[in-house]
Amino acid sequence: MSTARTISVLPVTPGKIIAVHLSYSSRAAERGRRPSSPSYFFKPSSSLSASGEVVERPEGTELLAFEGEIALVIGTAARRVTREDAWDHIAWVTASNDWGLYDLRGNDKGSNVRNKGRDGYTPLGPQLIDARSVDPAALRVRTWLNGELVQQGETAGLIFPFAQIVADLSQHLTLEPGDVILTGTPAGASVAKPGDVVEVEVDAPDAAGTLTSGKLTSHVVAGHGGFDPEIGSLPSVDDRQREEAWGSREAAGLPAAAPALSPELRAKLVEAPVAALSQQLRKRGLDNVSIDGVRPTRPGTKLVGVAKTLRFVPNREDLFRSHAGGYNAQKRAFDEVCEGEVIVIEARGEAGSGTLGDVLALRALARGAAGVVTDGGVRDYAAVAGIDLPVFSKGPHPAVLGRRHVSWDTDLTIACGGATVQPGDFIVGDDDGVIVIPPSLAEEVANAALAQEAEDAWIAEQVAAGHPVEGLFPMNAQWREKYDAAKEAGDSNDRET
The verdict on whether residue 418 carries a ligand-binding annotation is: no
- What's the pLDDT at 491? 65
What is the C-alpha to C-alpha distance for residues 392 and 297, in angstroms, rounded to an integer?
6
Q: In sequence order, what are the beta bridge partners of 437? A: 426
Asked if residues 391 and 297 have their Cβ atoms less than 8 Å apart, the reply is yes
- What's the pLDDT at 258? 67
**Fold entry, domain 17-246:** Fumarylacetoacetate hydrolase; domain 2 (3.90.850)
What residue ranges do the domains of the chain occupy? 17-246, 263-441, 446-496
- What's the pLDDT at 492? 60
The residues, any chain, with a CB within 8 Å of residue 256's CB and separated by 6 or more, are: 249, 250
- What's the pLDDT at 1? 30
In a 3-state reduction of DSSP, which class is residue 413? coil
The verdict on whether residue 380 carries a ligand-binding annotation is: yes
Question: Could you say which architecture CATH assigns to the domain 263-441?
Answer: 3-Layer(bba) Sandwich (3.50)
How does the average pLDDT of the chain come out, rounded? 92
The verdict on whether residue 357 carries a ligand-binding annotation is: yes
**Taking 50 as the threshold, does the pLDDT of residue 377 lie above it?**
yes
Amino acid of residue 424: G
- What's the pLDDT at 4? 40
**Taking 90 as the threshold, does the pLDDT of residue 263 lie above it?**
yes
Beta strands in 75-174 (DSSP E): 90-97, 100-101, 122-124, 129-130, 140-145, 148-154
Q: In sequence order, what are the beta bridge partners of 212? A: 203
Cα radius of gyration (the chain): 29
The verdict on whether residue 359 carries a ligand-binding annotation is: yes
**Taking 80 as the threshold, does the pLDDT of residue 322 lie above it?**
no
Give the pLDDT mean for 289-315.
Answer: 96
What is the C-alpha to C-alpha distance for residues 496 and 422, in angstroms, rounded to an integer?
45
Give the pLDDT mean for 229-235.
Answer: 85
- What's the pLDDT at 401? 76
The verdict on whether residue 360 carries a ligand-binding annotation is: yes
Asked if residues 124 and 7 have their Cβ atoms less than 8 Å apart, the reply is yes
* Residue 280 backbone dihedrals phi, psi, to 5 degrees: -70, -35
CA 87 and chain centroid, separation: 35
Give the pLDDT mean for 39-59.
Answer: 96
Give the residue, 194 or 12, on which the prediction is more confident: 194
Q: In sequence order, what are the beta bridge partners of 374? A: 345
The residues, any chain, with a CB within 8 Å of residue 443's CB and separated by 6 or more, are: 265, 268
- What's the pLDDT at 256? 76
What is the C-alpha to C-alpha distance for residues 278 and 283, in angstroms, rounded to an integer?
9
**Taking 50 as the threshold, does the pLDDT of residue 20 lie above it?**
yes
**Taking 60 as the threshold, does the pLDDT of residue 232 lie above it?**
yes
Asked if residues 435 and 290 have their Cβ atoms less than 8 Å apart, the reply is yes
My answer on whether omega of the bond before 126 falls inside 30° of 0, hence cis, is yes
Cα distance from N-terminal residue to C-terminal residue, the chain: 85
Asked if residues 429 and 296 have their Cβ atoms less than 8 Å apart, the reply is yes
What is the C-alpha to C-alpha distance for residues 139 and 198, in angstroms, rounded to an integer?
20
The verdict on whether residue 388 carries a ligand-binding annotation is: no
**Taking 60 as the threshold, does the pLDDT of residue 197 lie above it?**
yes
Please compute, for residue 382, the number of CA atoms within 13 A of its CA located in the half-sphere on the CB side: 0
Give the pLDDT mean for 254-279.
Answer: 90
What is the C-alpha to C-alpha distance for residues 183 and 426, in angstroms, rounded to an integer?
39
**Taking 90 as the threshold, does the pLDDT of residue 225 lie above it?**
no
